[in-house]
Amino acid sequence: MIRYTQQIAIWGMSLSMVISVPAIAQAETFKSLTLDSKTTSGMMMGSAGGATSLPAIVSNSDRENQKCIGFGDPTPDHTLTLKQPVSSLSIRVDSGGGDTTLVISGPGGVRCADSGETGKDVRLQQGEWQPGTYQIWVGTVTPNVNRDYRLTVRGN
């Protein structure tokens, strides 16, 4: 996140002072990413959380019988398009250590991940990703808890 400092002058009767107030530049939210033979990694940003149960939208468990958990928005946060098969893909959430979850739906079925009992940001690393479009939800374990995050995707 980029931070700028704005100077604000406050003038009183016989007192003057300058206060530095941090202003946060609005980060652009990237909603989609395409990986191909030249682009094998990328980053997307957003805000996780909501009141909708993510398993109710997609599935209670994924293709490896991993339980799907988390709360978020009913619409996917991101789309990932793979132009060719990817033998191994790593998807990592960085929200500053929040308890985040991932639910991904696309070719080959549903993939889910959570940080388990550690209560940290989630990371999913799996193989056998087929070409196509994947919908990605970044959720939180607790409903209505919002977390800004950066989602990093790396293919091998």
Identify the CATH number of the domain in which residue 80 sits: 2.60.120.380
Q: Identify whether the C-beta of residue 143 lies closer than 8 Å to the C-beta of residue 51.
A: yes
pLDDT at 12 over 70: no
Averaged over 104-127, what is the pLDDT? 90
Assigned domain for 94 exists: yes
The per-residue DSSP string of 9-36 comes to EEE-SS-EEEEEEEEEPPPPPP-EEEE-
Asked if the structure places residue 112 within a domain, the reply is yes
Encode pLDDT of 34-78 as tens digits.
999 999 999 999 999 899 999 999 999 999 999 999 999 999 999
Domain membership flag for residue 48:
yes
Residue 116 is predicted with a pLDDT of 77
Residue 145 within a domain: yes
Does a structural domain hold residue 17?
no
For residue 54, is it within any domain?
Answer: yes
Q: How many domains would you assign to the chain?
A: 1
CB 33 within 8 A of CB 134: no
Range of the domain at 97: 28-155
Of 53 and 97, the structure prediction assigns the larger pLDDT to: 53
